Structure 1
């Protein structure tokens, strides 16, 4: 008997899926990489301008280096003969005439005599100072001095003068004998004192001056108008000197009341300084006058030498007539003048990416001088920061007229200065 057989049916097995193609994955990676590179490049392109610091602002000065006081320059009425020089203290020279040849200066010499005495023996205002006694020999010389026609004050042996009184005798009635007495009192001898006079002249830069005596009687004592102005400016800085030369009279031992030979004192603001006259020198005058300008006192200093005349009265009259127009011209010329006005542009400021502002004067600047005078203008502007507010103080402008003191004023900014934004920097770079 046959066993029955079991029949097994097998299900067909599906084939495996085909493998993914590696090319599709590579393409995706390539596209992604390119996208990343593009994004990175764009980022780098945008950030690049921000990696570098902004350039510093450039400041360009627009104010001139010099300016001229407007108006017609003064015409100085110089004397037709001799020499003259005219100066305004703290401002400058109005000029000279007659050249620089050294000439006799007569009793103008006594300005140096008094200056040396006061430098060696200073006096305060009103102070009498030490005493000196006239010796028998000095008193005995008086008759011979008088016979020569010298300018003198009477003295006697044993007469006592204070330093101030002796200087008054020298500077007001122009006493030759007291100039010699003072010289010997200070230096031990007239000769030694004259050495001091010449040494002082050299120190002051009086290049064309030479002294041979303390009175000026000797015609070999010579100088120039320019040199005498140098000395006069220094002498007027001494309080006692300025006090004495401004006096119209004084009371002295033996002589009593003496008058100042300088008849201009008290007229046209004249406050000194010293007359001189000899046949060789002619009429001479070193002078000072004080005028008020803009609420302040200004001193005019000048010298006129070599005015002709047959005798002392004529010589002095002519030197006075030559001097008064000089004083009046200088006084009329001096004024206070605006040289920089509030708001005047001084500089421009150019910042990065077309940012800009201006710098201007914050106030008026006034100088003392006369029309036609040159004025130097100096500007100091600190480095400009990235941010600068409007109307902020920033720098200084200084004006100097002639020999005057500097006059300074603040500078201010115009519109506000700000650095460009990041977006502006990026956009400008595109």
Structure 2
């Protein structure tokens, strides 16, 4: 065998179990060791706190009822229908006023200057009579016996060309008969007879007429005769609309002014002077024309918007013309133009969009927006201010998506308010650490 000078290879001795381990980590060994110790300390502290809480009533803390969430909304008590009211074809002269029951005033023209109103004054005569002597349904009311003085009054008015119905002494007219003669052919002598029948004298009745005007807020109105024949009986379109709305509350009156004709004693058939009856929904109320007053009409019209029927009360006064037919034709033309405009303008509009109008916030800070489930739509016209009522319910500690939390209502229309999303659950840490 060859001879070599190298000693034979031998394995290193095994490590001694009792000897210290040798760390080979290099220069980063000490900082990493410190970070590990800090993490361990934090975990131990957290565990210590949990143990301490468990020992101090954490079970009771976790079982406590959750506090109610807070619901807030930002819906104004009055909202305006977006947009601007289209131009209304108001008359070039005279005055006009339009009001929709349940909605409000569309507008008017001609200012507050009182002018003669002719036979429209008879509307107040009827109003006072029905207040003092109400009749309902098919009741005819008490009898009025025609006296010789009534006959003399009738005859004295013939030369001046007034609107009249013939009467004879001893004739009996029921209250309904008299009101039909007053409102349909506009009989001035019946206005006088009703005044005396009610109050004993025309002066006494005029006091009642003017007192009723004051009660209705007709601040620019003055009655000096019960028929309107005198030019000193003056008013405005706005004032007469107030009266028209009030007198239509008497069902008997509304029935009478919608009649095209009626039957009364002595005269027989009487016809309604209002040529617009049945046109564009018109169902009353009273015409009036004199040389000083021009053409006048206090009117009421039914307007259909979808499935709803609205009542518009309006007045157009002091329209020009050389005689009664021309004056009334002028006023009717203006009224029809106004009604056509109203029908185009009064319809359904969106008042409140289905967008967030509030929020729900839980005690632990989770939130959800609140919105109408559908847009709130109302009938009206651009620029109309609408009263809005918002009601809310208590949402509980937290809410689910689509949970009803209230309602918003306007003009008889109503939609629910609901949450747009669910709120989150509270964390265990929040439950453990919340204050009592």
Shorter-chain TM-score bucket reads 0.7 to 0.9
Counterpart for residue 265 of structure 1: 277
- Post-superposition CA distance 1:157-180 (Å, at most 9, x none): 111111111111110110000001
In the superposition, relative to structure 1, how do residues 246 and 40 fare at CA in structure 2: closer, same or farther (>3 Å)? closer
Higher mean alpha-carbon deviation, 369-378 vs 100-109, is at 369-378
CA distance in 2, matches of 1:367, 1:201: 33
Aligned to 2:167, the other structure's residue is in SS state: coil
> Are the counterparts in 1 of residues 69 and 398 from structure 2 also a CA contact under 8 Å?
no
Determine the structure 2 residue equivalent to 1:10.
none
Measure, in 1, the Cα distance between the counterparts of 2:114 and 2:133: 29
2:409 matched residue in structure 1: 398
RMSD: 2.9
Q: Mapping of 1:402-413 within 5 angstroms? A: 405-413=411-419
1:344 matched to 2:355? The reply is: yes
Deviations 1:276-307 (A, max 9, x none): 11122111110111121121211111111111
Counterparts of residues 62-141 of structure 1 (less than 5 Å): 62-63=74-75, 67-70=79-82, 73-141=85-153
Judge which range, 224-233 or 311-320, deviates more: 311-320
2:62 is equivalent to residue 43 of structure 1: no
Distance, in Å, in 1 between the alignment partners of 2:402 and 2:390 is 17
User: Residues of 1 paired with 2:67 and 2:407: CA distance?
Assistant: 24
SS class of match (1:237): coil
- Which residue matches 1:415? 421
Q: Distance in 2 between matches of 1:383 and 1:355?
A: 16
CA shift for structure 1 position 39: 4.9
For residues 50 and 184 of structure 2, what CA distance do their matches in structure 1 show? 97
Give the Cα–Cα distance (whole angstroms) in 2 for the partners of residues 155 and 57 of structure 1.
Answer: 78
CA-to-aligned-CA distance 1:14-59 (integer Å, 9 cap, x gap): xxxxxxxxxxxxxxxxxxxxx99x9579736997996999776443
User: Residues of 2 paired with 1:47 and 1:420: CA distance?
Assistant: 21
Aligned to 2:188: 176
Query: What is the CA deviation profile of residues 36-88 of structure 1, one whole-angstrom value per residue up to 9, with x for unaligned ones?
Result: 9x957973699799699977644343556654435663321000011110111
Q: Deviations over 1:98-123 (max 9, x none)?
A: 10111111110000001111122222
Query: Could you list the runs of 5+ residues in structure 2 that have no partner in the other structure?
Result: 1-43
Q: Secondary structure at the match of 1:232?
A: helix
C-alpha distance in structure 1 between counterparts of 2:302 and 2:243, whole Å: 17
SS of the equivalent of 2:221 reads coil
Q: How much does 1:340 deviate?
A: 3.6
**CA 1:360–1:139 in structure 2 vs 1: closer, same or farther (change >3 Å)?**
same
What is aligned with 1:6? none
Give the structure 1 partner of residue 399 of structure 2. Answer: 388
> Helix, strand or coil for the counterpart of 1:272?
strand
SS of 2:52 mapped into structure 1: helix
Answer whether contact 1:336 1:367 (CA < 8 A) is retained: yes
Aligned counterpart for 1:353 among listed residues 351, 364, 370: 364
User: Map of 1:169-248 to 2, 5 A cutoff?
Assistant: 169-248=181-260
In structure 1, how many angstroms separate the alpha carbons of the residues matched to 2:300 and 2:184?
A: 15
Q: Can you list the C-alpha shifts for 1:238-291, whole angstroms capped at 9, x where unaligned?
A: 111111111111222122212111111111111011011112211111011112
TM-aligned CA deviation for residue 417 of structure 1: 3.4
- Distance in 2, matches of 1:165 and 1:148, equals 24
Q: 1:154 aligns with which of 166, 170, 189?
A: 166
Deviation at 1:201, TM superposition (A): 0.8
**378, 382, 385: which one aligns with 1:371:** 382
**Partner Cα separation in structure 1 for residue 85 and residue 56 of structure 2:** 64
For the residue of structure 2 that corresponds to 1:144, the secondary structure is helix
Deviates more, 1:246-255 or 1:89-98: 246-255
**More displaced stretch, 218-227 vs 350-359:** 350-359
User: Shift of residue 389 of structure 1?
Assistant: 3.7
Give distance in 2, aligned partners of 1:69 and 1:363.
16
Q: How many correspondences in the alignment?
A: 388
Alpha-carbon shift at residue 334 of structure 1 (Å): 1.5
Shift in Å, 1:392:
2.6
Once the two structures are overlaid, the 10-residue window that deviates more, 375-384 or 134-143, is 375-384
Q: In the alignment, what sits opposite 1:9? A: none
Separation in structure 2 between the aligned mates of residue 72 and residue 218 of structure 1, nearest angstrom: 41
**Shift in alpha-carbon separation, 1:425–1:115, aligned structure 2, 3 A:** same
Q: Is the 8 A contact 2:96 2:315 kept in 1?
A: yes
- Where 2:197 maps in the other structure, the secondary structure is helix
Distance across 2 between alignment mates of 1:121 and 1:281: 30
Contact 1:46-1:426 within 8 A present in 2 as well: no
Q: CA deviation at 1:230?
A: 0.3
